[in-house]
Amino acid sequence: MSCHRPESAAAATHAVPGLDHNPVALMQPRAPAATPQEMKNGARVKSNNVAPQGVYLPNYNVLTPHMRSPEYVQMSTAAAITLGLMKGRMYRCECTRCLNLLLTYPEGCRANCAYCGLARHREAERDYADRNFIRVDWPAVPLEQTIDIVARDGAASPFHRMCISMITHPRSDADTVTVLQKWTDRIDPSTIPVSILSNPTTMTREDVERLHGLGADIFTVALDAATPEIFDRTRGKGVQSPHSWAKYWEILMDARDIFGREKFGAHIIVGMGETEHDVLALVQRLVDLGGHSHMFCFFPERGSLMDHLPATPRDQWRRVQLGRYLIDYRGARVEQMSFDGAGRVTGFGIPQGELDAVIDAGVAFRTSGCPGKFREDVSACDRPYGDSPPSNIASFPFQPNRRDVAKIRRQLRIVERRH
Ligand code: SF4
């Protein structure tokens, strides 16, 4: 029996009532369906061969143009608004500080990660450039036009960082090099530093060295899963996807050697079935290696193989956000923290006054990622509403105010448990 679920079905976006964490038994992806031959590998886009005309906004009802990197890249709606390429306003945000440039091809990403809107199985229903990715559309834009705008703005650019986001595709390594070269030919990387969000599956150590030599500042690996079992279930053999935990760690360790301390990191998605202890132990391992963790709250992306599952309960997410911040920036260690039988945090191992001060400062609950120009613990990569709707914010893309912090305290519930 197929577990295939049509895209028109409503996605589950709320936590299961009564659950304060997403347990491993619940977080089972559905199986990918078979793709009709005529929809495989971007065949529809390639056979129609419609020439692109500048910026392309995702539209399920038109023939998607034939766009490829390095001539074209995709970017978040927030980045397109910030560049003036799209009209729109973002709730409580003026702009985004990170320009994420995602490589794009009609064949799309050849991996099949269960939580991702760009995954290969979606070619059965939607051309690559029309797929949603982390909650929002990603328009496709000519690279030269993007660079022209940023170069014209010079030091007045709102961007604190640019990030080239690779996907799993045979051209991805070479095109990442080309995009980086084209960018640094026109824009000084000391003015707007460049991060690489890598795809280890197709990479070698020499690829990592080349990107460092060309001026990339930070190299990150989207580990995404916190344990090898969840990795295999969500982005390995469990969903007919090519990634392996061992290869991701191999390239992460290469990045540590080549980019050095504070210049490498890993993405972790919280709430895919791992325990809070699993995540914080991984955060500690990364800090001990000299790197950082960049965290995302699991959101059941529409059309993905996990869109029937609940978003991460906010109390689980807040506890992990807080623990991660204390380990990354306040010298706390996971061994000092206490956990219950389900691996949930019951104590952070620091005096209550210090904990209160960190909670009230609010920074721990902002998006995490590569740093910008404000301060080390504030990410340039603010990803407005990339892991939650504005009505129930998971990662704050701005400084939380007093009302936000009061809500965070209610969500944390760690305070209530202590009484
Ligand atoms: S490799 Fe990245 S873009 Fe491709 S399916 Fe996995 S998470 Fe999505």
Note down pLDDT in tens along the chain; length 419 residues: 222 233 333 344 455 566 788 999 999 999 988 888 888 989 899 999 999 999 999 887 788 999 999 999 999 998 999 999 988 887 787 778 989 999 999 999 999 999 998 899 988 888 888 887 777 789 999 999 999 999 999 888 999 999 999 999 999 999 999 999 999 999 999 999 999 999 999 999 999 999 999 999 999 999 999 999 999 999 999 999 999 999 999 999 999 999 999 999 999 999 999 999 999 999 999 999 999 999 999 999 888 999 999 999 999 999 999 999 999 999 999 999 999 999 999 999 999 999 999 999 999 999 998 988 888 888 888 887 878 888 899 999 999 999 999 999 999 975 544 43
If one counts every other C-beta atom within 10 angstroms of the C-beta of residue 4, the result is 14
User: Which residues lie below 8 Å from residue 376, measured CB to CB, with a gap of 6+?
Assistant: 329
Name which of 94, 88, 86, 195 is nearest 398 in CA terms. 94
DSSP tag of 391: G
Closest CA to 107 of 123, 131, 85: 123
Q: Ligand 1 mean position to 279 CA, how many Å?
A: 20
The candidate with the shortest Cα–Cα distance to 404, out of 348, 362, 349, 358, is 362
Q: Is the CB of 102 under 6 A from ligand 1?
A: no
- What's the mean per-residue pLDDT of the chain? 90
Q: Are 268 and 226 in contact (CB under 8 A)?
A: yes
Residue type at 180?
Answer: L
| DSSP-assigned letter for residue 395 | S
**68, 165, 200 from 409: Cα distances, Å:** 46, 34, 38
Q: Find out whether the beta carbon of 223 lies less than 6 Å from any atom of ligand 1.
A: no
Ligand 1 atom 3: residue of nearest CA: 167
Residue 269: strand pairing partners: 296
pLDDT above 70 covers a percentage of the chain that reads 94
What would the two tokens of residue 92 be? 């409580």
Q: Closest by alpha carbon to 356, among 314, 402, 415?
A: 415
Residue 199 CA, ligand 1 centroid: distance in Å: 9
DSSP string, 244-274: -HHHHHHHHHHHHHHH-TTSEEEEEEE-SS-
Residue where the block lists tokens 């006054």: 353
> Would you say 327 and 280 are in contact if contact means Cβ atoms under 8 Å apart?
yes
Residue 283: closest CA among 237, 309, 319: 319
381-410 pLDDT per residue, tens:
888 787 888 889 999 999 999 999 999 999
Buried-state track 156-187, b at ≥16 Cβ within 10 A, e below 16: ebebbbbbbbbbbbebbbebbbebbeebbeeb
Q: How far is CA 63 from the centre of its chain?
A: 28
Q: Are 396 and 367 in contact (CB under 8 A)?
A: yes
Helix 402-412 vs helix 352-361: angle between axes, to the nearest 10 degrees?
A: 130
pLDDT score recorded for residue 209: 98
Copy the structure tokens of residue 155. Answer: 């030091």
Q: Is 134 in the pocket of ligand 1 (CB under 6 A)?
A: no
Any atom of ligand 1 within 6 Å of the Cβ of 116 = yes
**C-alpha dist (Å) from residue 200 to 1, 10, 247, 265:** 34, 33, 7, 13
**What is the 14 CA–ligand 1 centroid distance (Å)?**
23
How far is the centre of ligand 1, averaged over its atoms, from the C-alpha of 415 (Å)?
37
d(CA 371, CA 210): 22
45-99 per-position pLDDT tens digit: 999 999 999 999 988 778 899 999 999 999 999 899 999 998 888 778 777 898 9
Element (DSSP H or E) covering residue 392:
none
Q: Using an 8 Å Cβ cutoff, are 293 and 328 in contact?
A: yes
Nearest-CA residue for atom 2 of ligand 1:
167
pTM: 0.92
